[in-house]
Amino acid sequence: MTITKATTHVTQNEALVFERSQTGRRGYRLPALDVDETPIDELLPAELRRDDDLEGVPELSEPDVVRHFTRISTWNYNIDLGLYPLGSCTMKYNSRLNEKVARIPGFAGLHPLAPAEDAQGALQVMYELQQHLAEITGLPGISLQPAAGAHGELTGVMMIRAALDARDGTTSDEAKRRKVMLIPDSAHGTNPASAHLSGFTVKTIRSTSEGLTDLEHLRELCAGGDVAGLMLTNPNTCGIFERNIKEICSVIHEAGGLVYMDGANMNALVGVARPGDMGVDVIHLNLHKTFSTPHGGGGPGSGPCCCTTELEPFLPVPSVVKAEDGSYKFDSDRPQSIGRVKAFYGNFGMHLRALAYILTHGNDGLREATEAAVLNARYIAEGLADTFDRPFDSPPMHECLFTDKRQTRKGVHTLDIAKRLIDYGFHPMTIYFPLIVQGAMLIEPTESVGRAELQQFVDAMKEIAREAQEDAQTVLDAPHTTRVGRLDEAAAARKPVLRWRPAEKAAGA
């Protein structure tokens, strides 16, 4: 059966705001100017003023604006609609209560440069969040400044650079040689990019056939004497806990390096195990993953950095400390700090939400969430074990990994399976990541889904596998139920159109 698209459907055909614009429409009203007006030329000479009258900027009424954004919003899948099993993204429920907390006027309306004595509540929020994150990670030094995971990574590896420079100096031959950051081949692309920005040379560590870091290869690489550190995700991006983590850390430490852990997968560990107890020196957390702050269509995130006491002097400035009188203040007195990584103090609105998450769950609830997240991944792993190829046998933690190996015989690939899953009402899993696994499908259900829906997902995947055998074309042409079909990304990249232009100008562009 083919589904015919209605061509006149107002919601399905919502245009761009620029195309909806009608001269003279307004969606706002300002109070009348209540001061004596200064002639405009006295305010600013003409040559400093705009001369284009903001041509092209849209003019819409308020209902038009609301309809526009409401209509286009309906083209999005979202967590509140159902399972969003993107591996390594931890798409868990985003509590409405946390949204309310972040909007309390005493927080939302507080200027970052307000004197600290008049911002004690905000400082207290940051301080308490720091304390809780230190307890959860087992790493006492915290900076809440990084704005996202990759930003936290950058902060962490820069701290490693600063700590090594402080220890070894920067002039000796040995210090100059110590530039190698080891990164497993399964790592997220932000790891090598962050290492490169921090002045490191990246060397790749192989994974074993079990999907773990190859210890032999690690030792070999460490023998060179040039290793500054290791960036490791744990559980790794194959969803497997690096059971040799302590040994890995000591190999690096003995080689004179430091260990950075990418905390993207902390949702598998909260309340169960702590990076600080594994020998990790510095870690970033993704508050927008593990601590449920909303992903917002791609941010804002928040990527606090947690480290050992030894690395604490190198954290970004300022940090929040508690004075003897019980008041809170910013501490910028850290001469060895890597400096500032962001203006002001980080994504404070996310700090509020994360603290609210920790406090509404309580210590028991945090561990229960971890258990449920792992249990749910196990359920899917078990449910799909006979249908899809599993590249590694190790038991999965909070996410499980499959491939398209069995389906490719009929010409059906991971991308097709993902697209067909949309027709069954689910957001697809993470696909083609980690890169070391051909046709990878990484599934992370999180704790925010019940057994019935997990089973529906398993059933949908099995049904797609059956279709791949019996009616491959249906899978290859998917999705069939969305507003647009598969988009021609190659054509889009060859002749990129990255902004709207008025029709007459667009023709010549």
Partner 1 sequence: MLHGLGLGSAEELFDSLPADVLLKRPLDTPAALAESELLELFEAMAAKNAAARRPSFLGAGAYSHYAPTIIDSLIQRSEFFTAYTPYQPEISQGTLQAIFEFQTLVCQLTGMDVANASMYDGSTAMAEAVLMAERVTKRSRVLVSAAVHPEYLQVAETYVAHAGIELGRLEVDETSGRTSLDAAALEKDVAAVVVQSPNFYGCVEDLKAFAEQVHATGALLVVVVTEAASFGLLRSPGACGADIVVAEGQSFGVPVSFGGPYVGLFATREKYARQIPGRLAGVAYDKEGRRGFVLTLATREQHIRREKATSNICTNEGLIALAATIYMTALGRRGLQEVAEQCAQKAAYARRQIGALEGFSLPYSAPVFNEFVVRAPSEAEGLLRRLAESHHVTGGLALSRYSAERPNDFLVCVTETNKRADIDALVAGLKQS
Partner 2 sequence: MANVPEGLFYSKDHEWLRVEGETGTVGITDHAQNSLGDVVYVELPKTGETFAAHDTFGSVESVKAVSELFLPVAGEITEVNESLSDEPEKVNTDPYGDGWMLRVKLSNRGEVDSLLSAAEYEDYIGSLE
Q: What residues from 207 to 236 belong to the interface with partner 1 (CB under 8 A)?
A: none
Least Å from the CB of residue 319 to partner 1: 14
Residue pair 391/401 in contact (Cβ under 8 Å)? The answer is yes
Least Å from the CB of residue 352 to partner 1: 7
By beta-carbon proximity to partner 2, the closer residue of 249 and 429 is 429
Burial 26-42 (b: 16+ CB within 10 A, else e): eeeeeeeeeeeeeeeee
By beta-carbon proximity to partner 2, the closer residue of 111 and 494 is 494
Least Å from the CB of residue 498 to partner 2: 14
Q: Residue 288: CB partners within 8 Å, gap ≥ 6?
A: 148, 149, 294, 295, 296, 299, 300, 301, 302, 350
By beta-carbon proximity to partner 2, the closer residue of 54 and 490 is 490
User: Does 432 participate in binding partner 2 (rule CB under 8 A)?
Assistant: yes
At residue 227's C-alpha, the angle toward residues 189 and 254, to 5°, is 125
User: Does 419 participate in binding partner 1 (rule CB under 8 A)?
Assistant: yes
Residue 70's binding partner among partner 1, partner 2, none (Cβ under 5 to 8 angstroms by kind) is partner 1
CB burial of residue 225 (10 Å; 0-12, 13-18, 19+): exposed
SS3 for 317?
Answer: coil
Residue 319's binding partner among partner 2, partner 1, none (Cβ under 5 to 8 angstroms by kind) is none
Quick one: which segment of 148-156, 307-315, 401-409, 463-471 binds partner 1 (CB under 8 A)? 148-156
Residue pair 452/379 in contact (Cβ under 8 Å)? The answer is no
Residue 60's binding partner among partner 1, partner 2, none (Cβ under 5 to 8 angstroms by kind) is partner 1
Single-letter amino acid code for the residue at 353: R
Q: Which of residues 478-497 bind partner 2 (CB under 8 A)?
A: 489-490, 493-494
Residue pair 485/426 in contact (Cβ under 8 Å)? The answer is no
Q: Residue 145: CB partners within 8 Å, gap ≥ 6?
A: 155, 304, 305, 316, 340, 341, 342, 345, 346
Residue pair 380/445 in contact (Cβ under 8 Å)? The answer is yes
Least Å from the CB of residue 488 to partner 2: 9
State which of residues 2, 8, 80, 309 lies at the interface with partner 1 (CB under 8 A): 80
Between CA 273 and CA 281 the distance in angstroms is 15
The contact pattern for partner 1, residues 232-271, with x = CB under 8 A and - = no contact, is --------xx-x-xx-----------------------xx
Residue 86's binding partner among partner 2, partner 1, none (Cβ under 5 to 8 angstroms by kind) is partner 1
Quick one: which segment of 219-227, 333-341, 404-412, 437-445 binds partner 1 (CB under 8 A)? 333-341
By beta-carbon proximity to partner 1, the closer residue of 92 and 410 is 92
Residue pair 180/203 in contact (Cβ under 8 Å)? The answer is yes
In 3D space, the residue among 410, 412, 401, 462 whose CA is nearest the CA of residue 436 turns out to be 401
By beta-carbon proximity to partner 2, the closer residue of 176 and 196 is 196
Q: Which of residues 189-208 bind partner 1 (CB under 8 A)?
A: 189-190, 192-200, 202
Between CA 288 and CA 88 the distance in angstroms is 12
State which of residues 350, 417, 440, 441 lies at the interface with partner 1 (CB under 8 A): 350
Q: Which of residues 39-58 bind partner 1 (CB under 8 A)?
A: 40, 42-45, 47-58
Total binding residues for partner 2 by CB under 8 A?
Answer: 5
User: Does 147 participate in binding partner 1 (rule CB under 8 A)?
Assistant: yes
User: Does 109 participate in binding partner 1 (rule CB under 8 A)?
Assistant: yes
Strands 305-307 and 319-322: unpaired
In 3D space, the residue among 444, 327, 384 whose CA is nearest the CA of residue 88 turns out to be 444
Least Å from the CB of residue 494 to partner 1: 10
Between CA 464 and CA 441 the distance in angstroms is 14
Q: Where does this chain bind partner 2 (CB under 8 A)?
A: 432, 489-490, 493-494
